[in-house]
């Protein structure tokens, strides 16, 4: 995937009652029809009008209820209390658009690979090759309990299992050759049996025989998104990911991480030019600096402390309810964090303390506030300049834009920012192809190229 001097733009969406920012549902301009198809279709049309490469949805298989082992506050304050199934939403959005790429998060820890392979291959056919799968290993014990397990699997083991999961999924996706379907009424030959194979997979975690029941998809196979940040997570991302979603608080560190990750992709035998690294940002735009600052003040006023605590507990898989804000974490407690370990490590590094306090976690992570990601705020030229600096200094290959309110954030980006990026030659003016791979500048996926080093 060449950078071509142009950045990728991806919208970070949630099928829930708020955007990634929990306070967003209290914003006066946020629409509240998120249980209906039109809400998602409206966003999809807006993003397509702005030539966005893709909209992708995060997911969680439980509401945030680790804090105090209770869901009451989550429900009371609407802290991502609603989470809808993503496949139906992607379908609705895909039917309302023609070019926009559409990605959904699906867990390798709680689903069966054959099922996931079939769901995404089917969607890729229905939507003409525009689909991506965000591969996650899931985070916490609440998800485990909803899905029939007592506790969440240990961190690195989740990735070992995920490696095997992907071998099964990609194996199935590649088991129908391009030209297997003949469909010749006259001869009665439907498909060439020599071109449809069983997978016969037997691993440590999974067994799956095949043959797969969905022919090869319009873009060869769906695009893979990945967001692992730990050492083990990055090794996984370097092996499989095509679009990498990262959290990077500032430019210098992002540059170092970008370089290191590209080297890691090369070491895995893949072409780093075909992997796009995109950090999450919030964008707040105004016609003047003062107007943008005023918007930002309103948005920030919507955050509540409980949002941050509930979402920190959720993502780290630790109940913070009995901890004082200025109480330090013991070594044992830090080691017991089984969720987002990269976040724990960032708090330790940035606080400069071996044993940070809960306040350090709240402040450094910015969970529950828009400070969770860098906030680019101002007029369109000013925000475009900041994005340009990140892009041109090789801190990223594009951006994942989160919303401060829905769908107004994206309407502002499309109306004000996209034309400015286009004027600067940083962003395209139209869709180059029909499939997501074409629009990302990725070649069509060749069968089993992921098995051969250098296959990319
Ligand atoms: C930016 C970002 C987005 C993520 N989105 C999700 C998500 O939507 N659902 C999920 O279950 N896990 C999500 N994760 C968690 C990862 O899949 C992974 O399980 C977790 O980060 C632990 O791995 P790590 O320690 O390698 O980062 C996300 C992680 C990051 C960094």
For 11-66, write each residue's pLDDT tens digit: 999 999 999 999 999 999 999 999 999 999 999 999 999 999 999 999 999 999 99
Domain boundary among 368, 390, 419: 368
* CA 304 – CA 369 distance, rounded (Å): 8
Domain boundary among 347, 368, 389: 368
Report the phi/psi class of residue 289: left, alpha or beta, with left for phi > 0 and alpha for psi in -120 to 50: alpha
Question: Is residue 297 assigned to a domain?
Answer: no
Question: Is residue 308 assigned to a domain?
Answer: yes
Question: Is residue 187 assigned to a domain?
Answer: yes
Question: Is residue 15 assigned to a domain?
Answer: yes
- Which protein residues are within 6 Å of ligand 1, measured from CB? 58-60, 105, 107, 136-139, 227-230, 232-233, 245, 247, 340-342
Is residue 68 domain-shared with residue 26, that is, in the same domain?
Answer: yes
Is residue 221 domain-shared with residue 326, that is, in the same domain?
Answer: no
Q: In this structure, what token pair is assigned to residue 379?
A: 């007029």
The residue whose C-alpha atom lies closest to atom 9 belonging to ligand 1 is: 59
Is residue 18 domain-shared with residue 97, that is, in the same domain?
Answer: yes
The residue whose C-alpha atom lies closest to atom 13 belonging to ligand 1 is: 136
**How far, in Å, is the centroid of ligand 1 from the Cα of 315?**
9
Is residue 388 domain-shared with residue 414, that is, in the same domain?
Answer: yes
Domain range enclosing 416: 8-291+374-455
Comparing C-alpha atoms, which of 99, 134, 140 is closest to residue 120? Answer: 134
Is residue 308 domain-shared with residue 412, that is, in the same domain?
Answer: no
Say whether pTM exceeds 0.85: yes
pLDDT tens digits, 58-108: 999 999 999 999 999 999 999 999 999 999 999 999 999 999 999 999 999
The CATH number linked to 241 is 3.20.20.30
Is residue 98 domain-shared with residue 25, that is, in the same domain?
Answer: yes
**How far, in Å, is the centroid of ligand 1 from the Cα of 45?**
27
Atom of ligand 1 nearest to the CA of 136: 17
**How far, in Å, is the centroid of ligand 1 from the Cα of 399?**
17
* CA 236 – CA 450 distance, rounded (Å): 13
Is residue 41 domain-shared with residue 183, that is, in the same domain?
Answer: yes
The residue whose C-alpha atom lies closest to atom 4 belonging to ligand 1 is: 227
Is residue 261 domain-shared with residue 147, that is, in the same domain?
Answer: yes
Question: Is residue 296 assigned to a domain?
Answer: no
**How far, in Å, is the centroid of ligand 1 from the Cα of 60?**
10
Beta strand segments in 286-343, E? none
297: Cα within 13 Å, side-chain hemisphere: 6
Q: ∠ CA(221), CA(224), CA(225), 5° rounding?
A: 160
Give the count of domains, the chain: 2
Atom of ligand 1 nearest to the CA of 138: 11
Question: Is residue 127 assigned to a domain?
Answer: yes
Would you give per-residue pLDDT tens digits along the chain (456 residues)?
A: 446 779 999 999 999 999 999 999 999 999 999 999 999 999 999 999 999 999 999 999 999 999 999 999 999 999 999 999 999 999 999 999 999 999 999 999 999 999 999 999 999 999 999 999 999 999 899 999 999 987 778 889 999 999 999 999 999 999 999 999 999 999 999 999 999 999 999 999 999 999 999 999 999 999 999 998 889 999 999 999 999 999 999 999 999 999 999 999 999 999 999 999 999 999 999 999 999 999 999 999 999 999 999 999 999 999 989 999 999 999 999 998 888 888 999 999 999 999 999 999 999 999 999 999 999 999 999 999 999 999 999 999 999 999 999 999 999 999 999 999 999 999 999 998 999 999 999 999 999 999 865 444
């Amino acid at each position: 995937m060449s950078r071509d001097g142009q950045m990728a733009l991806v919208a970070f969406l949630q099928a829930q009652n708020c955007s990634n920012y929990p306070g967003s549902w209290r914003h006066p301009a946020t629409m509240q029809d998120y249980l209906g198809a039109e809400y998602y279709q409206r966003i999809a049309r807006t993003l397509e009008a702005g030539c966005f490469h893709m909209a992708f949805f995060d997911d969680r298989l439980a509401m945030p209820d680790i804090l105090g082992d209770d869901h009451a506050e989550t429900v009371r304050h609407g802290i991502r209390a609603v989470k809808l199934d993503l496949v139906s939403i992607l379908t609705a959005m895909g039917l309302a658009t023609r070019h926009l790429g559409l990605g959904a998060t699906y867990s390798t820890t709680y689903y069966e690979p054959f099922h996931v392979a079939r769901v995404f291959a089917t969607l890729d056919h229905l939507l003409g090759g525009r689909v991506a799968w965000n591969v996650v290993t899931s985070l916490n014990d609440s998800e485990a309990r909803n899905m029939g397990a007592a506790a969440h699997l240990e961190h690195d083991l989740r990735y070992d299992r995920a490696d095997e999961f992907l071998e099964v999924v990609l194996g199935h996706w590649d088991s129908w050759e391009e030209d297997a379907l003949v469909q010749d009424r006259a001869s009665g030959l439907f498909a060439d049996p020599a071109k449809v194979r069983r997978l016969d997979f037997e691993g440590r975690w999974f067994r799956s025989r095949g043959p797969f029941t969905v022919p090869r998809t319009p873009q060869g196979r769906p695009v893979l998104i990945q967001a692992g940040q730990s050492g083990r997570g990055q090794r996984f991302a370097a092996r499989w990911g095509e679009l990498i979603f990262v959290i990077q608080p500032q430019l210098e560190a992002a540059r170092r991480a970008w370089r290191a990750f590209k080297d890691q992709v090369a070491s895995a035998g893949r072409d780093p030019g075909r992997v796009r690294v995109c950090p999450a940002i919030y964008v707040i735009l105004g016609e003047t600096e003062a107007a943008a600052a005023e918007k930002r003040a309103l948005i920030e006023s919507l955050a509540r402390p409980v949002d941050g605590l509930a979402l920190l507990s959720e993502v780290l898989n630790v109940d913070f309810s009995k901890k004082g804000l200025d109480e330090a974490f013991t070594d044992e407690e830090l080691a017991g964090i089984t969720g987002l370990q990269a976040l724990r490590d960032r708090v330790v590094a940035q606080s400069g303390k071996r044993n940070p306090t809960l306040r350090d976690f709240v402040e450094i992570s910015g969970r529950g506030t828009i400070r969770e990601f860098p906030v680019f705020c101002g007029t369109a030229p000013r925000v475009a300049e900041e994005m340009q600096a990140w892009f041109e200094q090789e801190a990223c290959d594009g951006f994942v834009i989160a919303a401060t309110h829905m769908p107004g954030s994206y309407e502002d980006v499309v109306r004000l920012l996209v034309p400015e990026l286009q004027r600067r030659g940083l962003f395209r003016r139209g869709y180059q192809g029909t499939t997501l791979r074409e629009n990302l500048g990725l070649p069509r996926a060749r069968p089993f190229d992921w098995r051969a080093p250098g296959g990319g």
